[in-house]
Each structure stands twice: as C-alpha cells, then as structure tokens.
Amino acid sequence: MSKADFVVVANRLPVDRAGDSDEWRRSPGGLVTALEPVMRKAEGAWVGWPGQPDVQLDPFDFEGTHLVPVMLTADDVENYYEGFANDTIWPLYHDVIAAPRYRRVWWDSYVKVNRRFAEAAAGAAAENAIVWVQDYQLQLVPKMLRDARPDLTIGYFHHIPFPAYGLYSQLPWRKQVLEGLLGADVIGFQRVADAGNFARAVRRQLRYETKASGISVPTADGTTRTALAKAFPISIDAESYIELAQRPDIQARAVEIRESLGNPKTILLGVDRLDYTKGIRHRIKAFQELLEDGRLSVDDATLVQVASPSRERVATYMKLRDEIELAVGRVNGDYDTMGHTAVRYLHQAYPREEMVALFLAADVMLVTALRDGMNLVAKEYVAARVDNRGALVLSEFAGAADELGSAILINPHDIDGLKDAIMRAVEMPPAEQGRRMRALRRRVREHDVEDWSRDFLDALAVFHERGAAVTA
Ligand code: G6P
C-alpha cells in the first residue's frame, strides 16, 4: 500500500452505511465536503472510526480518498467515546452546562484509543507528510504522532470551545492534554477567545512562554520549537446551499411545508443535534411565555424544532430528551388548537435538500446555544436565504456571533431579552431583513469552508517548508 503525503485523522470516517446496507456513502458533514477536493488532489488518506463497535475493516478507497478504518470495541465506545470524549471533555469544554464526570477508566481508554489512531496515522503517512488531526476526541494524537514520527508536519483543529482557565483546571489530566495538543505545529481554534484560553492554560500549567500566537515548546534535545495557536473560524460550503436554495423543486417544497403547517404568518425554526449545549429549553420557554403573554398566538405563529438524535446512550442526553419532550408536550397541550400546533417537534435527521426547504420556509431562525464552538446552522440559514429575507436570532455564546454581527444577538439565559429579540425578529420590516441578510450573506460567501481549510493549510505549509529546509 502506498503512503499518503496528506492524512486527515478524525474520530469518524467521512463515510457511513445507510441502514443495514453494505454500501458506503459520503457523510453529509461540512468538514467532509470541505476536504474532499484537497483529499482528491493530494491523493490523501483519512483515518477514522467507521461508527459501529467491533467492526474490523481493511483500508479501502472511496471516491479518491484512501480510508483507514480504526476499530473500536464496545468497551472503547463506552469508555473513550461516550465516556471521556462526550461525558468529560464535551461538558467541561462547554462551560460545565452539564457536570463533567472524571473517571480514571475513561481516561485510560482515551489514552489507549488515541494511541491506536496515532499508530494508524503514522502507518498511513509518507515521509515528511502533512497530518491534520481533528477535534476533541483526539487531543493526545499530535504528541503521540510527533514522538513516533518527527518528520511529519502536524496540524490540529479544535471544533468546539476551549474553556476559560478556571474551568479547564478542573481536568485531572490537564497537563497531559495540553502536552498532547502542543505536539502539533499549528493548533487551530474557532474563536480568538478559545486560542487565548488555551495559551493561558499553557502558561499557567506548563509555564511555557507565549508571544502573540506563538508558543515556545521545549523539545527532547533541549532546544525549543514554536507552535502556532490561533483562530481559524470554520465555515460552510456556501455555494452548495445557494444552489439548492435556487432549485425550483426545493422552493416548491418550502411552500408545501408552510401549507402543511396551516400557512401561519410566522414560522420560527430551530435546528440542532439534541444536545444540552444548544439552549433548546430556553427557546421553548421563551416561545411558551410569548404565547402566554398573548404577544404571539398559535393561530399565526408555529415553532418548528428539528432535534436530530445524538449520543443516545449517554445519560445526560437521555435526560435532556425527556425534559425537552415534556416541555414540548406541555406547550402543545396548553396552546394547540384542532388546526394549529404551537411546536412541531421532529426528533429526526433530514437530508440537506429538506433542510434548505425548511430554511426557506422559516421567517425566523433561532440559534440560542448556551455555548457552541461555531454553529454552522446559523451560516447555513443565511446562505440559503437567496431571497434576502428572514431574520436570524443568534446567541453571543456561539462562535458564529464573532462573524455574524448583523444578526439579532442574544444572551439565551436572559429569557426576557430573548423574548424581546424574538418579537423584534417576528416584526422586522422587510427592508431591515434585507439589509441585515445581505450583510450576513456577504460574510458567509466571502469566508466559506474552502477558505477555512486553505487558511489553515497555508499556516501549516510554513512549518512544512521549514522542516524541508532543515532536512535538506
Ligand atoms: C460536534 C463535534 C464533532 C462531532 C459532531 C457529532 O460537531 O465537534 O466532532 O462529530 O458533534 O457528534 P458525534 O458524537 O455523533 O460524532
């Protein structure tokens, strides 16, 4: 098997299998779309988990990418994925919205599985290759890879927030995780604030010096090297959303959606993975109070909430689902009429076409995350509004708020403020909708996911060239 000059390492492979079928299809995520042309051009390899426990697969090629499956046993899934990644790191890094659990068996599994990914990546990478590690499930991989393969140029991108030092310092393995990340040459974050939190943790915990975006990392031979820790806000494949939004069948579907909801004057929309970071309860609460106060009526306003199933075996997620479904049931019980529903709740995932039709059907998009690395749904909504209509209510705690200042920015904890913001969005005159939407769309089109990957890989290329100069 030939080795690759460009390797992506991510918890998941960029493919999945439809139902019980043996056929692989490309996963719908933005990262996969973004990297597809890069992978194809570089004849790259992608190291990741196929998404099912105990599935041992040989490497295979899929649409121009060499896929290297990493096997996770049922125990690994429980301890590394559901445990350490999604019940320790995820809640800790999202500002402890849910309580993180610190379990030593989970950590041991995280170390073991990270090593497995690092070994698979080392095996797939050619001499002097570029390896790009993705996200919080694999924070130890950069250092493991550097130790095994000092010839590699290593990047890491952190898709979720990096918390303030006071929270980060709860982590019993705080030093090991920082050292793991610092194995990379470039460590990318969503927001400037995340990169700042990381640099502060490094200064306080490891006593390394930081200057602007540079961090001096001691090496085994007693010298230091500089790692770059910087914000590279991720984006979406804006053009593909625009193309979908211009398709007559999708526009017709948007009309059909409105009709099937009884043609209410206002459709409010929430689209999230069913996750406690997304502020779904706050949103339902605000909507319920607006109905209660008589500022909205169920005859002319419906909230459509798409909550796609996620991490369903983690107890916090099961509890959240019960809470949300109880809240939805209560609002609907109190306010539904025979012909109109207050909240149309859909615990389902939809193809991109249907999502774009929903975006076009919705007058107001509600993104009320309590903490979110970026929130790509906000960007998808904006890209889809080719008619320059609609209003975006956006949490300042989502990374997207740094770029989308023309949205109505809210603090989701402030329910009165959220209610007022929703009413401003509902009542926003078309001229103001157009003015704001044009500004939002300009930003998303000017900085799409291709720019994101190019910016990151350009920063990494500087290190690659330096490495080449040293070995030459
Ligand atoms: C977030 C994370 C991703 C993760 C995704 C879905 O966006 O940043 O790394 O893949 O959630 O979660 P899952 O646990 O299903 O992979």
pLDDT 10s digits, 429-462 = 999 999 999 999 999 999 999 999 999 999 999 9
Q: What is the pLDDT of residues 350-376, one digit of tens each?
A: 999 999 999 999 999 999 999 999 999
User: Is residue 417 located within the same domain as residue 456?
Assistant: no
Q: Is residue 145 part of a domain?
A: yes
> How many Cα atoms sit within 13 Å of 453 on the Cβ side?
18
User: Is residue 190 located within the same domain as residue 140?
Assistant: yes
What is the pLDDT averaged over residues 114-132? 98
Predicted local confidence at residue 345, as pLDDT: 98
User: Is residue 70 located within the same domain as residue 104?
Assistant: yes
Q: Which of 113, 136, 158, 310 to mutate to test the pocket of ligand 1 (most atoms within 8 A of CB)?
A: 310
Ligand 1 centre distance from Cα of residue 265 (Å): 35
What is the pLDDT averaged over residues 279-297? 98
Number of H helices, E strands in the chain: 17, 18
User: Is residue 112 located within the same domain as residue 250?
Assistant: no
Predicted local confidence at residue 142, as pLDDT: 99
Q: Which two tokens stand for residue 333?
A: 């019980």
Please give the tally of structural domains in the chain. Answer: 2
CATH code of residue 455: 3.40.50.2000
User: Is residue 345 located within the same domain as residue 247?
Assistant: yes
Q: Which of 27, 89, 135, 157 to mutate to test the pocket of ligand 1 (most atoms within 8 A of CB)?
A: 135
Look at residue 96 and give its three-state secondary structure. coil
Give strand pairing partners of 154. Answer: 131
User: Is residue 145 located within the same domain as residue 282?
Assistant: no
Cα 416 to Cα 289: distance, rounded to the nearest angstrom: 9
User: Is residue 226 located within the same domain as residue 351?
Assistant: no
Ligand 1 centre distance from Cα of residue 182 (Å): 22
| Helix (H) / strand (E) containing 128 | strand 125-134
The answer to whether the CB of 12 is under 6 A from ligand 1 is: yes
Predicted local confidence at residue 127, as pLDDT: 97
Predicted local confidence at residue 313, as pLDDT: 98
The answer to whether the CB of 311 is under 6 A from ligand 1 is: yes
Q: Is residue 471 part of a domain?
A: no
Predicted local confidence at residue 32, as pLDDT: 86
Residue nearest to atom 14 of ligand 1 (CA): 311
Q: Is residue 252 part of a domain?
A: yes
Q: What is the pLDDT of residues 83-97, one digit of tens each?
A: 999 999 999 999 999
Ligand 1 centre distance from Cα of residue 85 (Å): 10
User: Is residue 165 located within the same domain as residue 285?
Assistant: no
User: Is residue 119 located within the same domain as residue 107?
Assistant: yes
The answer to whether the CB of 159 is under 6 A from ligand 1 is: yes
The answer to whether the CB of 310 is under 6 A from ligand 1 is: yes
One-letter amino acid for residue 4 of the chain = A
Cα 132 to Cα 354: distance, rounded to the nearest angstrom: 32
Atom of ligand 1 nearest to the CA of 373: 8
The answer to whether the CB of 275 is under 6 A from ligand 1 is: no
Residue nearest to atom 8 of ligand 1 (CA): 159
Q: Is residue 49 part of a domain?
A: yes
The whole-chain average pLDDT of the chain stands at 96
User: Is residue 196 located within the same domain as residue 142?
Assistant: yes
The answer to whether the CB of 160 is under 6 A from ligand 1 is: yes
Task: Work out the percent of the chain whose per-residue pLDDT is above 90.
Answer: 92
pLDDT > 70? residue 470: no
Q: Is residue 200 part of a domain?
A: yes
Task: Work out the percent of the chain whose per-residue pLDDT is above 70.
Answer: 99
Q: Which two tokens stand for residue 294?
A: 């008589």
The answer to whether the CB of 94 is under 6 A from ligand 1 is: no
Strand pairing class (4-12; 45-49)? parallel
Ligand 1 centre distance from Cα of residue 88 (Å): 14
Residue 100 — pLDDT band, cuts 50, 70, 90? very high
Q: What is the pLDDT of residues 187-220, one digit of tens each?
A: 999 999 999 999 999 999 999 999 999 999 999 8
User: Is residue 230 located within the same domain as residue 242?
Assistant: no
Parent domain of 413? 238-446
Predicted local confidence at residue 1, as pLDDT: 61
CB 283 within 8 A of CB 272: no
Ligand 1 centre distance from Cα of residue 290 (Å): 33
Q: Is residue 472 part of a domain?
A: no
The distance from CA 129 to its chain's CA centroid, rounded to whole angstroms, is 26
Q: What is the pLDDT of residues 27-62, one digit of tens each?
A: 877 788 778 878 888 889 999 999 999 999 999 999
Predicted local confidence at residue 14, as pLDDT: 93
Atom of ligand 1 nearest to the CA of 86: 14
Predicted local confidence at residue 19, as pLDDT: 75
CB 194 within 8 A of CB 231: yes
Q: Is residue 470 part of a domain?
A: no
Residue nearest to atom 6 of ligand 1 (CA): 310
> Of 358, 353, 349, which is closest to residue 243 (Cα–Cα)?
353
H runs (alpha helix) in 89-133:
90-93, 104-124
User: Is residue 399 located within the same domain as residue 267?
Assistant: yes
